[in-house]
Structure formats: structure tokens, C-alpha cells
Amino acid sequence: MKYLGLRVLVAIVFFMSLKACTQSINNQNELDNANLTCTIPDAMYPSKNLVIASHTDFTKKHYPERIASFKENPLSKNDIVFLGNSITEKGGDWGKRVNNPKAKNRGISGDTTDGVLARLDELTYCEPKKVFILIGINDLFRDDMTSEKVYENILKIVNQIHEKSPNTTIFVHTILPTSTVKIKEKIQTTNSLLRNAASNNPYQLIELHTEFIDKDGLMNMNLSNDGVHLNETGYRIWMKKIINLI
């Protein structure tokens, strides 16, 4: 009987310890989640009255709408941020695409490198774990924008993120091709500049352009619905290219 009583006592102590340990883990998880919360001051977002000169009339209206959406669904610490234009925005729920709820969509249709530069404070304030950048095609469609200037702006984006959030791993994609012949050379020049600069700057290059070109160096129309934006087959190719980096 004494032996049986001892076993019961040991069992009680064990289960009480287990319960306390579980509660401790839950409390720690709650604490960790609290530490990941990022309360972003309004000043970290662009003013709704901000006008980016390189934006089209559509984007001048859409940009503040997306910023308002970002305020309603703020980033958290250590998020994985996809930063770009309509090609990123139309990707939808990036958490589902890469099977990681920390992946967040910060694409704005029609956005340019100047538009991205104006909205980086939200991102750097929350110190994301990783940032995947695909930007520049809307700049290159402009006759007054050179490949060199787009490249310089992308480096400004990279350096601003690195300076304000030094622990963030930054990935820069080469710019996708389009079906528009007249900007083919500008895209190629910009991508060459990005490739050549990768070893001396705080970003890792993701070679996306070559995954989408046809025999003429233009967008493979099997992967696009309009010569610029991707269809689901195109998005799957993109995901396959980066999934091991998430």
C-alpha cells in the first residue's frame, strides 16, 4: 500500500509539473507574440496627400487606398515582405503562396521606384526578417526614365532598408520581361546593372527575368495574361524559384 501511495504521489507531482511547464510555454509564446507586435505610428506611412510625380492618374488614386489598407493590416516584427508593383499586388495572399503566414503583400499596382522609396518607413520600422523586391517596370515604360536611374533608385531602396533594418535579408529580383519591344533593351540594361552590383551591395540577386523570356527575349505569353502581368502558371514558376529562400 505504501508503494502504491508513493506511485500515486509521484504521478500527481509529475502531472502538476507538466501542467506548470505547459502553462510556462504558453505564457512564453504569448510574450513572444506580443514582442512581435509592431505598433506603427501614422508618421511612418506616407501622407494621403502625397503625390508621386511618376505615378499615372490611376496610381495616384490607388496608392493612398493601398496605404490605408496597409494601416488596417500592419506588418509585424520578423515578417517576410514582398515589395513591388501590380505584379506583386496581384499575387494576393503571399502567405498562402509560400505556405508561411508571416509573408505579407506590399505591392501597389502602378507603383514606381519613387513610390516605393516614399513608403519604406512602415517596413523598416517593423524590421522584417526578409524582403523580396520586384520593382522598376513602370519606370522603364516612361520615355524620360533611364535604366541607370531605375538601377540607382533600386539601390537606394536596398540601402535604406539595410541602414534602418540591418538584420533584414534583402532579395532583389531581376525585372521581368514584357511583350513590348521598345523597352526590351532598357530592361536588359537595368538587369545587367543589378547583376554586376550584387556582390558589392547588401542584397542577394534572384534571377527571375530568364525564367520568363521567349526566344526573342520578350515575355513568354504562356506565363502571362497581358504581356506584363503573370498568370497562375507564371506565379508558380516564381514561387518555385524562391521557395527555398523563404
Comparing C-alpha atoms, which of 99, 103, 44, 112 is closest to residue 79? 103
Q: Are 142 and 161 found together in one domain?
A: yes
Residue 37: predicted pLDDT: 76
Q: Are 18 and 84 found together in one domain?
A: no
Q: Are 17 and 79 found together in one domain?
A: no
Q: Are 15 and 60 found together in one domain?
A: no
What tens digit of pLDDT does each residue of 203-221 get? Answer: 999 999 999 999 999 999 9
Q: Are 141 and 227 found together in one domain?
A: yes
> Rounded distance, CA 141 to CA 55, Å?
11
Q: Are 31 and 141 found together in one domain?
A: no
Q: Are 167 and 235 found together in one domain?
A: yes
Kindly compute the dihedral angle of the four CA atoms of residues 94, 97, 101, 106, in this order, to the nearest 10 degrees. Answer: -10
Q: Are 5 and 120 found together in one domain?
A: no
> Rounded distance, CA 203 to CA 133, Å?
10
Q: Which range of residues forms the domain containing residue 6?
A: 1-36
What tens digit of pLDDT does each residue of 57-107 get? Answer: 999 999 999 999 999 999 999 999 999 999 999 999 999 999 999 999 999
Residue 36: predicted pLDDT: 73
What tens digit of pLDDT does each residue of 120-173 get? Answer: 999 999 999 999 999 999 999 999 999 999 999 999 999 999 999 999 999 999
Q: Are 60 and 13 found together in one domain?
A: no
C-alpha cell at 181: 519591344
- Asked if 206 and 135 count as a contact pair (C-beta separation under 8 A), the reply is no
